[in-house]
């Protein structure tokens, strides 16, 4: 659980870009309301928002709720990343021929509860990292699958070499899924298995126009590139 939670916590520091209403996939086909396309299937913006809503509702009940919510301000990107990463892990697990049973999930969750010294304390710990109580089981499932993928590829996640090997496996799965992300969330980086910021061409053009205008006003001659 610790490794997965740390990944989520790091993601929350990423910046949130301006909203763009539609997602354009290959062939310039518009997909209104889609946050991403994964393996030909869509993840709706509403699905991301529902996950965010569950987290915010849980955070609102926590001690120092305002501070907690403020410190996790990039929740929309965080939840989309989590959903996409989960799909990549599922694909890597399918490629490796590994599965997880209901019993394994229950046992792993029970162990996490014991380590946290209670279900409530576990929920409080995870909500600080953007995981709502009703999302814990999925997080546990992904953690088990990730470890099984590592084992299937003879990689030790406790070592840098093992982590690098699993990253390569996940990158391969990510590329196979052909993930396309709504620009409002950034872009999907197959190599880093995560969301990256996206700077739209029109932003670059507007910046150049503004620089040219300022230079002209200052009497600086312009050259054509």
Cα atoms found within 13 Å of the Cα of residue 51, Cβ hemisphere only: 22
State how far the Cα of 129 lies from the Cα of 114, in Å rounded to an integer.
Answer: 19
**Residue 207 clears pLDDT 90, i.e. is over it:** no
| SS3 label, residue 195 | strand
Q: What is the pLDDT of residues 21-31, one digit of tens each?
A: 333 333 334 46
Helix-helix angle 136-152:102-116, to 10 degrees: 110
Mean pLDDT of 192-200: 77
Q: How confident is the model at residue 114 (pLDDT cuts 50, 70, 90)?
A: very high
Give residue 201's pLDDT: 44
**Residue 7 clears pLDDT 50, i.e. is over it:** no
Residues 6+ apart with CB under 8 A from 31: 22, 23, 24, 25, 37, 42
pTM of the model: 0.74
Give residue 64's pLDDT: 86
CB–CB of 217/211 below 8 Å?
Answer: no
Q: What is the pLDDT of residues 47-61, one digit of tens each?
A: 999 999 999 999 999
Q: What is the pLDDT of residues 71-95, one digit of tens each?
A: 887 899 999 999 999 999 999 999 9
Q: What is the pLDDT of residues 146-195, one digit of tens each?
A: 999 999 999 999 999 999 999 999 999 999 999 999 999 999 999 999 99
Number of H helices, E strands in the chain: 9, 7
Q: CB atoms < 10 A from the CB of 112, how many? A: 19
Q: How confident is the model at residue 198 (pLDDT cuts 50, 70, 90)?
A: low
Q: How confident is the model at residue 144 (pLDDT cuts 50, 70, 90)?
A: very high
Average pLDDT, the chain: 79
Give residue 72's pLDDT: 82
**Residue 224 clears pLDDT 50, i.e. is over it:** no
Mean pLDDT of 107-124: 94
């Amino acid at each position: 659980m610790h490794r997965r939670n740390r990944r989520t916590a790091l993601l929350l520091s990423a910046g949130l870009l301006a909203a763009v209403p539609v997602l354009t996939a290959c062939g310039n086909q518009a997909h209104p309301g889609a946050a991403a396309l994964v393996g030909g299937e869509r993840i709706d913006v509403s699905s991301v928002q529902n996950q965010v809503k569950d987290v915010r509702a849980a955070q609102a009940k926590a001690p120092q709720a305002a501070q907690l919510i403020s410190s996790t301000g990039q929740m929309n990107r965080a939840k989309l990343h989590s959903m996409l990463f989960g799909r990549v892990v599922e694909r890597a697990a399918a490629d490796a021929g590994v599965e997880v049973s209901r019993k394994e999930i229950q046992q792993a969750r029970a162990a996490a509860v014991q380590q946290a010294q209670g279900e409530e304390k576990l929920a409080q710990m995870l909500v600080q990292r953007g995981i709502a109580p009703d999302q814990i089981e999925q997080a546990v499932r992904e953690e088990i699958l990730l470890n099984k993928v590592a084992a299937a590829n003879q990689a030790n996640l406790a070592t840098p070499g093992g982590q690098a090997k699993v990253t390569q496996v996940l990158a391969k799965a990510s590329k196979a899924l052909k993930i396309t992300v709504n620009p409002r969330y950034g872009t999907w980086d197959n190599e880093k298995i995560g969301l990256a910021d996206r700077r739209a061409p029109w932003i670059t053009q507007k910046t150049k126009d503004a620089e040219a205008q300022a230079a002209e006003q200052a009497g600086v001659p312009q050259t054509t590139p």
